[in-house]
Every structure is written in C-alpha cells, then in structure tokens.
Amino acid sequence: MKIKTVKALNLLLLFLVFSACKNEQKDKNIASETPQDSVDLKHATNFSINDFGDYYILKIETAWPDVDKAFTYLLTKENTEIPSGLDYDQKVQIPIEKMVVTSTTHIPALEALNEENSLKGFPGLDYISSEKTRKLINSGKIKELGKNKNINTEVLIDLDPEVVIGFAIDGNNKTFETIQKTGIPVMYNGDWTEKTPLGKAEWIKFFGVFYNKLDEAEKIFNKIETDYTEAKELAKSAAETPKVLSGAMYKDQWYLPHGNSWQAQFIKDANANYVYADTQGNGSMALSFENVLDKAQDADYWISAGQYTSYTQLLKESQHYEQFEAVQNKNVYSVSLTKGETGGVLYFELGPQRPDLVLKDLVSIFHPELLGDYENRFFKALEE
C-alpha cells in the first residue's frame, strides 16, 4: 500500500513538473509574439509591418475596396522557430529569390531595390514600360503569364516562384485560388487603395520586407517624401493659383477624379485650384459635357486628357472641346505621350512609386517660373 502511495506521489510530481514546463513554454511563446519593432508608416494606412527579429508579420488591411477581411502574412528568415498558435493566411521564407507580380505598379519597387532579376513572370508583358525590366523580358528572363484573371498556371508552376504578389479589384479570382492549392503562396498588395500619393509610394516597404531590405526601402521612401515636400513648399511660393480641369470624355460622359482623391491631391499640392475640389466619393465622377463646360470653360489648364496625344486628335473626336480656354491657349497636358517600347504608358507604372516626379511635373506646368529648365517626366503638352 505504501509503495502504491509513493508511486502516486511520483506521478503527481511528474505531472506538476510537466505542467510547469508546458506553462513556461506557453509563456515563452506568448512573449515571443511581442514585436521588437513596429515599422513606422507615415502615410500608408492599409498595411502594417511588425518586426519580430527572425520573422515579420505583414498585415494587409485593404487588399481591395470593401474587402471584408484583413490578410496576415508570415515572412520568416531561414531556420526560424515560429511560436505555436500563430495565426496567418500565407507563409514564405525570406529573402525571396524568385517572384511573380501582377501589376505594373509593382515593377518600380523591385527596380528601386535592385531586385528586378528576381522577377520571373508577369501577366501582360507588353504593359511594362521600364527599360531595365524590358531588357530582361527581351532576353527571355521574364515569362508571359497571360492575363491577370486568367494566368497560365502551368507556366507559372514551371517557374516555381516562392511567392506571387496578387493584385485584385475584388475577391473573385479563381486563378489565385488555384495557384495557392499548388502550394505557391499568393499575397495581396493593395497599394492602389491608398488615398494619398505618398501613401501609395510607401508600399515600397511592403516589398522591402520580402528581400530583407526594409532599411533600404525606408531610405528610398524618405528621399521620395523629402523631394515631394520640397516641391510642395516651392509651389506655395507661386504668385498665382491657376484653375485646373482633369479627366476626359468617354461615350458621352466626362470622367473626373473626386476632390478627395489622390489625383486631386496632386493638383492641390501643386498650388492649383481643381474645379471639382469640393466633391467627395470613391472612383471617378461621370458628368455630362454641359456640366463640365459650365464649370470649367475658363480653366487655365486641362490635365490627364485621356489617351489624346495631339490637338488634331482631340478636335477630331469632338469640335466642342474648342470651347475650352485651355484648348484655345494650348494648355492641355496628357500622360499618354510618354510610352515604353511596346506601348505601355510610363505614368501608370512609375507614377504611383514616384509621386515626387508627378508633383514636379505639375508644378512646372502650373508655375513654369519656379523650376526653370525642368524636363517633365510624365505630363507632356499635346502636340499639334
């Protein structure tokens, strides 16, 4: 009887020791989930980065408008022990060596980080305008993947990328679901959902984490932010604030940005008066020609004039455009004159990553006396 009692006590003691070790391990795991550093995001509001030393937690709050969930991504360094019970949607080991991206706006970030050679595939290669990346395409180092919503999964699987950076306007992308079932993680980038120019540009930090180059990404962004701020301050010194119209007609509707949009923010920061600055909303406004003519006939400048590249082309489309003073005074500017070798418009690719260059373009147009011999990068005057 005494022997049974001793055995029972020993078992109880072992249980208590085991429980104590387990609780200690649990406490260790909980403690290890406290980030060493939360990466400072000054303008972007739709993602966050938490640095845990050997791994990062990348959280995407808004992958697309009206999304009903956030996405949590785990990016680990080699031989990292991950705490138990850590919740995440997708996981990848960093630094990345082979990547697929799905939007041209992702290309400039890779180039800025000197990681364009990691790009192995893209849906719609003709849309890419960058000379550096086009050289890689022309040498066969980047493969055509078809279309964003109909990616050739067989080609993609053969490329064996470590991650696909997804772009989506909604959650209905069955191709991405198919890719993930093969074991290749798809991680969404929502740079385009940001409301400010600098907010979009700050997504270079998103890419910096994948290459374990967060410090470099922060330096690149800080330089962009400084140059943007300097251009904005310079614009404030202008003696006049011109009136500006934006957008263009399509099927009897004139599409223009709302006053709270990132496009309107550029006009405001360039010290100009956007004719629809008092409007708010998502997406674009669709107004009648008569409405726009009534409000903007006397506008000093007309920017982002659709796909038009010349006044001949513009007036051939509609003689009614001649009623605008900006047309009469040859003050119409378009981004469609600056294209890559296969026809892609550079502004749509590089502009979101380099808002400082976009703002300088607008300052040089609205206040030509301020930037002297500055040569515009995106916005060019329509040809004759």
* Whole-number pLDDT of residue 30: 40
Question: Do the domain assignments include residue 220?
Answer: yes
Residue 54 CB-half CA count within 13 A: 8
How many angstroms separate the CA atoms of 77 and 187, rounded?
Answer: 17
Kindly list the distances between the CA atom of residue 178 and the CA atoms of 122, 169, 225, in Å, as whole numbers in the listed order: 17, 18, 39
Residues 27, 106 share a domain: no
Question: Do the domain assignments include residue 230?
Answer: no
DSSP symbol at 123: S
Length of the chain: 384
CATH number of the domain enclosing 374? 3.40.50.1980
Residues 71, 84 share a domain: yes
Of 224, 255, 275, the domain-final residue: 224
Residues 115, 69 share a domain: yes
* Whole-number pLDDT of residue 31: 39
Residues 188, 146 share a domain: yes
* Whole-number pLDDT of residue 259: 95
> What is the per-residue pLDDT across 26-42, written as a single tens digit (0 to 9) for each?
333 443 456 667 788 99
Question: Do the domain assignments include residue 216?
Answer: yes
* Whole-number pLDDT of residue 12: 42
CA dihedral over 251, 254, 256, 258, signed as positive or negative: negative
Residues 42, 21 share a domain: no
Question: Do the domain assignments include residue 70?
Answer: yes
Of 174, 189, 224, the domain-final residue: 224
Q: Return the structure tokens found at 161.
A: 């990328």
Residues 245, 189 share a domain: no
* Whole-number pLDDT of residue 57: 96
- Which among 251, 292, 290, 242 is positioned nearest to 270, based on CA atoms? 242
- Cβ contact 267:362 at 8 Å: yes
Which mean pLDDT values do the consecutive 10-residue runs of the chain (384 residues) have? 44 42 40 66 96 95 92 95 91 97 97 98 96 96 89 95 93 89 96 95 98 97 98 97 94 92 96 96 90 97 93 92 96 95 94 98 97 94 95
Residues 205, 263 share a domain: no
* Domain encompassing residue 4: 1-32
- Cβ contact 335:304 at 8 Å: yes
How many structural domains comprise the chain? 3
* Whole-number pLDDT of residue 148: 73
Question: Do the domain assignments include residue 321?
Answer: yes
> What is the per-residue pLDDT across 111-153, written as a single tens digit (0 to 9) for each?
999 999 999 999 999 999 999 999 999 999 999 999 877 899 9
Q: Return the structure tokens found at 43.
A: 């303008």
Residues 42, 28 share a domain: no
Residues 182, 49 share a domain: yes
Question: Do the domain assignments include residue 232?
Answer: no
Question: Do the domain assignments include residue 190?
Answer: yes
CB atoms < 10 A from the CB of 344, how many?
19
* Whole-number pLDDT of residue 115: 98
**What are the phi and psi torsion angles at 65 (to 5°)?**
-60, 140
Residues 333, 196 share a domain: no
What is the helix (H) or strand (E) element at residue 53, kind and residue range? none
How many angstroms separate the CA atoms of 355 and 269, rounded?
Answer: 11
How many angstroms separate the CA atoms of 204 and 308, rounded?
Answer: 31
Residues 365, 244 share a domain: yes
How many angstroms separate the CA atoms of 199 and 317, rounded?
Answer: 36
Residues 267, 170 share a domain: no
Question: Do the domain assignments include residue 231?
Answer: no
